Structure 1
């Protein structure tokens, strides 16, 4: 274990997450790939990883089970999904508008909708960082990638 290696090397979705359509499964795989490719993930008080993250849903709560690459338990954090529900609902609504706009809107209309979409995504990413504050240190880009994965967990296709 490299001391100070604060990154995720693997992300696994527990069977509690459930499976969905091939399109949704593809989006989940892409979100996990992007997250592992570039991240900063530092469980507070731990010497260093890299880390494996197991995400699961228990009683409508998001569970972050963190282990070292060698499989040693590091920490488990349980987050209520309540603070995310409104943001995710708004995010999905604006994504629908965005995909519809691509077919028929002007470039400036598409750009305006996309700016709104990014803003809502940033709000969700900041909420995730705030909820993990004192537990896991993330940079904003990692929070964005993790929030994308949380959104994909909700998406049923």
Structure 2
């Protein structure tokens, strides 16, 4: 990306759930991190030039966006209640399980239908992420979609 203004340079996921995710969830998480590294819009209001490092975790039922500067020094933590995301996370996990079954069975039509549903849930999750972060963090829609994927990877015990 030529203009690196107001973006994430690194994302770290923290928490026990990362050790219990399926291969498909792992692939989703890795793809989201790679996509974020390539292109994103993410900055705190008043810090539009900040090249941020994000430590994303779930603590005490809250999503924690620990935003740090290029030297990994804390700038600001943004906390969101996890509750509004729970149904979408649970539905997303069920879709991933269905997708894995369809792939194992070689059912192409089912795979395509599930993939469409997965994209729809990603979009719902992104809209919710944008809504919940409004006024706290400036992000674009593709960044919100990728962050939703990472939140799903973090939260596996609903």
Using the size of structure 2 for normalisation, the TM-score is 0.82
Deviation at 1:34, TM superposition (A): 2.6
Q: Single out whichever of 106-115 and 5-14 deviates more from structure 2.
A: 106-115
Q: Does 1:7 align with 2:7?
A: yes
| Consecutive aligned runs of 4 or more in structure 1 exceeding 6 Å deviation | none
Deviation at 1:99, TM superposition (A): 1.9
State the distance in 1 between where 2:125 and 2:62 align: 16
State the distance in 2 between where 1:33 and 1:4 align: 16
Aligned to 1:13, the other structure's residue is in SS state strand
Match of 2:59?
58
Q: CA RMSD in A?
A: 2.5
Residue deviations 1:131-152, cap 9 Å, x none? 1011111111111111111111
Aligned to 1:54, the other structure's residue is in SS state strand
Match of 2:92?
91
Q: Does 1:125 align with 2:121?
A: no
Residue deviations 1:16-70, cap 9 Å, x none? x125158466654443233222211121121411111112322111111112113
Structure 2 unaligned segments of length 5 or more: list them: none
Deviation at 1:73, TM superposition (A): 3.5
Residue deviations 1:72-110, cap 9 Å, x none? 433211011101110010111112112222233643332
8 Å Cα contact 2:20/2:156 also seen in 1: no
Aligned to 1:113, the other structure's residue is in SS state helix
Equivalent residues, number: 152
Q: Single out whichever of 98-107 and 142-151 deviates more from structure 2.
A: 98-107
Q: Does 1:70 align with 2:71?
A: yes
